[in-house]
Amino acid sequence: MANTFLTNDIVTFEALDVLENTDKVMQRINGEYSDQFEFGGTVLGQTLNIRKPPRYLGRLGQAAQIEAITETFVPLTLSYQRGIDTQVSSQNLALDIDNYRERVLRPQIVRLNNLIDQDVCNLAQGLNNWVGTPGTTPTTLTTYGLAKVKLDNNACPEEDRYAWLSPIADFTLMDNLKGLFNSGKAISSQYESGSMTESGTLGMGWDMDQNIYVQTVGTLGAATPVVGTAPANGATTISTTGWSTSTLNAGDKFSFVSTTTPVNLVNPQNYQNMGQPMQFVVTATTSDSGGTMVIPFAPAMYGPGQQLQNVTNLPAVSTAVYVYDTPAANFALITGKSTPFNIVGNKNFGTLAMVDMPLPGGTDRAYRAASKKSGKALRVIRDYVATTDQWIQRIDTLYGTAVLRQELACVVGG
């Protein structure tokens, strides 16, 4: 039986339901911080700081060694106001809710959801951990196993781990695993879906997402880059020399390689040397000037004796700089390559924070809905145009995204 008129609250909650149930990365990622922005009053561009837990060195023996409580923060900016605007006729609003949902509402929300999911997938640009080869789609489970090792070395919780893959990476891996031992349930699921989806392989859920971010590697000239000036603890830039007409793009990954004073990853819980070079991500595109390049990077670098220690040693002068684990002699193999940034990580590596938007007066209808469980929120406003017997209907979301803990995720090149 058709409704005499679809009310705005029904439309709003139906829209929220569709928003909650499409696109994988957006579904899985942490959304718990959205309740900091309830009930409106927020504006586009507002920034809030999200606390990260402090770390402590601990002691051996009876003598007390007082440590400072050092909290660090991650800024989250409400960078995105996205929406879908349409004109809805009286005839549309007289439809029963099932027909309205499928004919009018769902196509709008699917497009809106896709735009939001792209913004979430773009968080891969800010991750520092990396495995694979730029521009080469992984063909074996080994590459993803190495990404799992990165998570383990960084004390990443074993629960709530996922792999989010581009369509080609997803199918290539599924096809190359068909001859290996798998449980009957996993084989059946992969055969029927043509995807790794929900296979549970390597102790994680697997999702295909068409919005996986694609990075273009910077231009790397014939160069042998090395550290020019040794950094201090907490550094987020480093001066390097030996470049030749080169540019590093924001999102490019690099490490420091030395046999005498290795700059290796330190486990954030036990402070042990994990035997692998610590990797960093370029935070802003930068080019060399006369062979010298000052690289802005994340995460901040801390050496021995620091609560936030993440490297075995700060890089010394003349330590070699590798880009994407590639030595200078092979830079030509990766320069300018386009590479999907597939993600293997815990859901808490980043966040999508949606907010309640203000409800304006002077309109026919204005309503908002939110779900604390999923962290999704939206607003629907409808206003009548008497000359055309149409209702202008706008659906809005206001949100921000941020990498919360870089150590909880790893990019897999493809």
Task: Compare 285 and 37 and report the one with higher pLDDT.
Answer: 285
How much is the average pLDDT of 387-393? 81
Please indicate, yes or no, if residue 197 is contained in any of the structural domains. Answer: no
Segment among 56-65, 230-239, 323-332 with least mean pLDDT:
56-65
Task: Compare 367 and 83 and report the one with higher pLDDT.
Answer: 83
Supply the pTM of this predicted model.
0.84
Residues 85 and 61 in one domain: yes
Indicate the pLDDT class of residue 145, thresholds 50, 70 and 90. very high
- Give percent of the chain above pLDDT 90: 51
Task: Compare 358 and 292 and report the one with higher pLDDT.
Answer: 292
* Backbone angle region of 84, left / alpha / beta, with phi > 0 → left and psi within -120 to 50 → alpha: beta
The pLDDT score that the predictor gives to residue 20 is 62
What total of structural domains would you count in the chain?
Answer: 2
Look up the CATH number of the domain holding residue 82. 3.30.2400
Please indicate, yes or no, if residue 116 is contained in any of the structural domains. Answer: yes
Residues 225 and 304 in one domain: yes
Residues 326 and 353 in one domain: no
Whether residue 195 has pLDDT greater than 60: no
Among residues 285, 313, 336, which one ends one of the domains? Answer: 336
The pLDDT score that the predictor gives to residue 2 is 42
How much is the average pLDDT of 341-346? 96
Indicate the pLDDT class of residue 282, thresholds 50, 70 and 90. very high
Indicate the pLDDT class of residue 5, thresholds 50, 70 and 90. very low
| Mean predicted lDDT score pLDDT of the chain | 84
Residues 281 and 379 in one domain: no
Report how far residue 88's alpha carbon sits from residue 388's, in angstroms, rounded to the nearest whole number: 11
Look up the CATH number of the domain holding residue 296. 2.40.30
Residues 274 and 375 in one domain: no
Please indicate, yes or no, if residue 283 is contained in any of the structural domains. Answer: yes
Task: Compare 45 and 318 and report the one with higher pLDDT.
Answer: 318
Please answer whether residues 256 and 320 qualify as being in contact, where contact means their C-beta atoms are separated by less than 8 angstroms.
yes
CA distances from 282 to 98, 296, 309 (A): 48, 6, 20
Please indicate, yes or no, if residue 3 is contained in any of the structural domains. Answer: no
Whether residue 65 has pLDDT greater than 60: yes
Among residues 336, 357, 380, which one ends one of the domains? Answer: 336
Residues 324 and 354 in one domain: no
Distance of CA 179 to the CA centre of its chain: 32
Segment among 25-39, 163-177, 267-281 with least mean pLDDT:
25-39
Among residues 312, 336, 360, which one ends one of the domains? Answer: 336
| Residue 98 domain boundaries | 8-123+349-413
- Four-point Cα dihedral 302, 400, 14, 367, nearest 10: 140
Please indicate, yes or no, if residue 249 is contained in any of the structural domains. Answer: yes
Please indicate, yes or no, if residue 56 is contained in any of the structural domains. Answer: yes
404: tokens are 């919360």
Residues 300 and 397 in one domain: no
Over its C-alpha atoms, the chain yields an Rg (Å, rounded) of 24
Indicate the pLDDT class of residue 257, thresholds 50, 70 and 90. very high
Give 345's contacts (C-beta < 8 A, 6+ positions apart). Answer: 127, 151, 156, 161, 162, 408, 409, 410
Please indicate, yes or no, if residue 36 is contained in any of the structural domains. Answer: yes
Please indicate, yes or no, if residue 38 is contained in any of the structural domains. Answer: yes
Whether residue 316 has pLDDT greater than 50: yes
